[in-house]
Structure 1
Amino acid sequence: MNLPNQTFAAQDEQAPPSPKQYLFPLILITSLFFFWGFVHNLDPILIPHLRKAFKLTDLESSLVDFSVFIAYFVMAIPAGYLMRKWGYKTGIIVGLLLFGIGSFLFIPAADTKMYVFFLGALFVIACGLAVLETAANPYVTILGPAKTADLRLNFSQSFNGLAAFLAPIIGAKYIFTDAGYTEAQVAAMSPQAYDAYVAAEAASVKGPYTVLGVIIILVLVLFIFTKLPDIKSDPKEGKSKISDALKFMNLRWGIVAQFFYVGAQVCVLSFFVRFVVVSAGIDEKAAAIYAGFAGLAFMLGRFVGTLFMKYLPSKKLLLIYSVICMLLTLVAIFASGSITIYALIGVSFFMSIMFPTIFSLGIGGLGEHTKTGSSLIVMAIVGGAILPLFLGYISDVTQNIQYGYIVPLICFAVVFLFAKNVKAPL
């Protein structure tokens, strides 16, 4: 997902740079969309990998998502303060630095062979991502003419979708080992054999995250030596109190709906590999390829949904898509075999428009309270940390991860209620 952009003005309005001067900065900023999309979509590979290696329950493995999305909640206010105080370029540099450090922390995490250190490394990475996402969206909007700002933002976000397609496939190739042990075989290992197995499984994570860390540091160096335009908030904007913003029914509904939607997205995509291994009886590497296609479906869904919005109001389209997602989730829960894979890929396609649509409807008509409302809806991303814990708990209690997908089913029902009750701005 991408944090929403806000409107900013270039500092130097008298001598605007030429389009050629914008090109390299735009390439750099767009690369950030790819990198945070890539690392987010490694989570579906990490969850089953670490689950098996450390003999985790589904609830314990869901702490991967908790570590990532709680960082967004924790960093929401500090990231904004950082960029107001020292500027957006500084924010990007700090974000990349945290991203790189977190990637390199996978090395000591693998050496210690302790699950908690992997969670710590993911938290540091996610703190960096939260800062980057807060900065990158507004930067894209000012790197060129104002009339093409939305086009540039959608173009940059498409690389996030490309990463969602590639990350599970690449991650499976370099993180999943060829040991091929089942959970029962791992449980039956002697202490010495298990220790050697954990060492090998933990070490397989080192390479991909070390390479990622090196790339991020190189991008960081490029940002340090690249001149980027300064941006500032519109001085005409009035101050707004949270209590005043929350008087708007659309915003209250939007916060709730976004909390549940992000929870649904994380549940569906992060547990995709684990889910289809159980429901369709395929191995993890084959499941990871399907996870890549789920990411591709998510990306295509954004484009198709945007096209449909030319003919249908966004509120009505969200209503239809939420119903389809509920029906497909029911198929995923109660069916078996390959149809469950296609059902989840379908869910990925139809839920793709939900984050930006809920956001835009939630802040519709807020006027001077728009920025405050935007921040509150962004903080609702914490749903991605909380709701996967319930999925993991249900899966452990029922001994069936398919039943855990009752959680995203409920989430899509909440999105349906939002679409039914929200008032579209005039």
Structure 2
Amino acid sequence: MKNNIVSVILVLVIFFTISFITNIIGPIFPSLVKDFEISLTVAGFLPFSFFAAYGVMSIPSGFLVDKFNEKPVLIGAFIMSALGSLLFALHPSFIMAMSSLFLIGTGMAMLQVAINPLLRVSGGEENFAFYSVLAQLLFGAAATLSPLVYSSLAQGMSNPQSTGLVALLSSLVPSNMPWLSMYWLFAAVSVVMLLFIILIKLPKVELTDEETVGALDIYTQLFKNKTVILFFIGIAAYVGTEQGVANAISIFLERYHGLDPLTVGVNTVSNFWLMLTLGCFLGLALLKVLDSRLVLKIFSLGALVSLTIALFGSADMALIAFPLVGFFLSVMWSVIFSLALNSLADYHGSFAGILCTGIVGGGLASPIVGLLADFTGDLRIGMAVVYMTLIYIFSIGFWAKPLVNNKTLNMFSEKQNINK
């Protein structure tokens, strides 16, 4: 029992670590553009390198878990993360940045696949829902904290009298690249997590039908299914929306309102992730009284309105509206994912692997936003990409036909609708 509690804590810390590392790209985006002297189009390939790893590694990671179990995959994941972080920290160039971010993304994809079954077994199936929600809250907390840590480190490094960790990091990074300190920190965190995993005995995991990846011919069969393709695009659209907005906030506020990206920009990105986390509570409540497709439509419209205010309103309005976009994005991932799985009668494990591969959409949005912004000279026009992804998500609320609707407090909605 004691080992299982330790394993639960480990998995929750891994959720926190994944988010802490993943969501730093948005706050440092203006610095990447400036220090590497690159266009927004080229800069967009940095997050693309990270999220492309999800597209490449999500399904193979499932096969690795099946063959070698969770512990070797977790060890391999943090080796990838540590190696990628160190390479970036030691050789800060654009080409190295792309390679390093791909390695880090590979590690994060491996972690995502391995930890959910481990959490189910470690905490017990009867507690899985509770721990899953707790894990998502920690994920959101880390996304909120990561930009603030970066801002604190960067400002501290500008003080010649700084001591402790700040002074150590100052000695390791070029004075004009304080953001690089985060990758030294990521490398250290990855090594510490690696040591913990090596030392801890993890419980044996028996995969459920929903967690099993399935044979290659199943994937071939699924990719011929129109429903699978539509929901794959849906997941890509969601992650593209989330990252497209998060990566644009700081640089947009600097370009259009003259706001400091290291303070105001970073705080606004942090608030974006905080509101995305807090929005989950309202979403959970609404899903108890409304059909999930209706909730998806309401929140999609809310995100569209908030994004419009953020892009075309005043500076004060943008500082409120960008975090509100995060609030309305909060339920989209879980609703789209559940609608997708509930739209197929079987092969849920393989389908889930395909959906996770759709995370590559998070990388595709930024280069396209940058390309349009560079071509037109207007970042607002570049953000038209996010309008398109949000409209697609809105459309899911109309065409999704789940075999089982979400259970609500309305007795008439508890019936299971079988779509043939």
Structure 2 CA distance for aligned equivalents of residues 283 and 341 of structure 1: 12
C-alpha contact (below 8 Å) 2:3/2:202 kept by paired residues: no
Structure 2 CA distance for aligned equivalents of residues 243 and 199 of structure 1: 49
**Deviation per residue, 1:136-182 (Å, 9 max, x gap):** 12211111231221111111121110011111111123247988xxx
Q: Which residue in 2 is equivalent to 1:265?
A: 242
- Please tell me the residue identity of whatever aligns with 1:132: L
Q: 2:124 aligns with which of 145, 153, 160?
A: 145
Percentage of matched positions with identical amino acids = 25
Aligned in 2, Cα 1:176/1:263: closer, same or farther, shift over 3 Å? farther
C-alpha contact (below 8 Å) 1:248/1:366 kept by paired residues: no
Q: Which residue in 2 is equivalent to 1:385?
A: 363
Structure 2 CA distance for aligned equivalents of residues 245 and 75 of structure 1: 18
SS of structure 1 residue aligned to 2:206 = strand
Out of 100-109 and 124-133, give the one that drifted further: 100-109
Shift of residue 250, structure 1, vs aligned partner: 3.8
**Deviation per residue, 1:283-303 (Å, 9 max, x gap):** 112211111111100110122
Structure 2 CA distance for aligned equivalents of residues 44 and 346 of structure 1: 17
Out of 77-86 and 146-155, give the one that drifted further: 77-86
**Deviation per residue, 1:319-365 (Å, 9 max, x gap):** 11111111222223322322122221111000111111111101214
**1:27-426 alignment runs, 5 A limit:** 27-110=9-92, 114-175=93-154, 199-202=174-177, 204-234=178-208, 241-246=218-223, 249-284=226-261, 285-426=263-404
Structure 2 CA distance for aligned equivalents of residues 403 and 311 of structure 1: 37
Structure 2 CA distance for aligned equivalents of residues 244 and 416 of structure 1: 27
Structure 2 CA distance for aligned equivalents of residues 66 and 247 of structure 1: 26
- Please tell me the residue identity of whatever aligns with 1:200: S
Give ranges in structure 2 of 5+ residues lacking alignment.
Answer: 159-172, 405-420
**Deviation per residue, 1:26-62 (Å, 9 max, x gap):** 1111111111101112101221111111221111111
- Please tell me the residue identity of whatever aligns with 2:150: G
Shift of residue 205, structure 1, vs aligned partner: 3.7
Structure 1 CA distance for aligned equivalents of residues 187 and 277 of structure 2: 25
Shift of residue 235, structure 1, vs aligned partner: 7.2
Q: Which residue in 2 is equivalent to 1:8?
A: none
- Please tell me the residue identity of whatever aligns with 1:128: G
- Please tell me the residue identity of whatever aligns with 1:232: E
C-alpha contact (below 8 Å) 1:280/1:341 kept by paired residues: no
C-alpha contact (below 8 Å) 1:47/1:64 kept by paired residues: no
- Please tell me the residue identity of whatever aligns with 2:197: F
C-alpha contact (below 8 Å) 1:250/1:361 kept by paired residues: no
Aligned in 2, Cα 1:86/1:342: closer, same or farther, shift over 3 Å? same
- Please tell me the residue identity of whatever aligns with 1:150: A
SS of structure 2 residue aligned to 1:310 = coil
Q: Which residue in 1 is equivalent to 2:413?
A: none
C-alpha contact (below 8 Å) 1:103/1:213 kept by paired residues: yes
Structure 2 CA distance for aligned equivalents of residues 345 and 329 of structure 1: 9
The number of aligned residues is 386
C-alpha contact (below 8 Å) 2:209/2:347 kept by paired residues: no
- Please tell me the residue identity of whatever aligns with 1:211: L
**Deviation per residue, 1:305-327 (Å, 9 max, x gap):** 11211111111100111111112
Structure 1 CA distance for aligned equivalents of residues 181 and 307 of structure 2: 35
- Please tell me the residue identity of whatever aligns with 1:131: M
Give ranges in structure 1 of 5+ residues lacking alignment.
Answer: 1-17, 180-197
Structure 2 CA distance for aligned equivalents of residues 115 and 365 of structure 1: 42
Aligned in 2, Cα 1:246/1:101: closer, same or farther, shift over 3 Å? closer
Normalising by the residue count of structure 2, what TM-score does the alignment of the two structures yield?
0.87
Aligned in 2, Cα 1:63/1:235: closer, same or farther, shift over 3 Å? closer
Structure 2 CA distance for aligned equivalents of residues 115 and 246 of structure 1: 35
C-alpha contact (below 8 Å) 2:74/2:110 kept by paired residues: yes
Shift of residue 366, structure 1, vs aligned partner: 1.6
Structure 2 CA distance for aligned equivalents of residues 349 and 120 of structure 1: 32
Structure 2 CA distance for aligned equivalents of residues 137 and 51 of structure 1: 36
Shift of residue 278, structure 1, vs aligned partner: 2.4
**Deviation per residue, 1:106-125 (Å, 9 max, x gap):** 23223xxx211122211111
Aligned in 2, Cα 1:259/1:330: closer, same or farther, shift over 3 Å? same
C-alpha contact (below 8 Å) 1:253/1:422 kept by paired residues: no
**Deviation per residue, 1:40-88 (Å, 9 max, x gap):** 1210122111111122111111112111100111112321222111111
Shift of residue 221, structure 1, vs aligned partner: 0.9
Out of 30-39 and 233-242, give the one that drifted further: 233-242
Aligned in 2, Cα 1:59/1:175: closer, same or farther, shift over 3 Å? farther
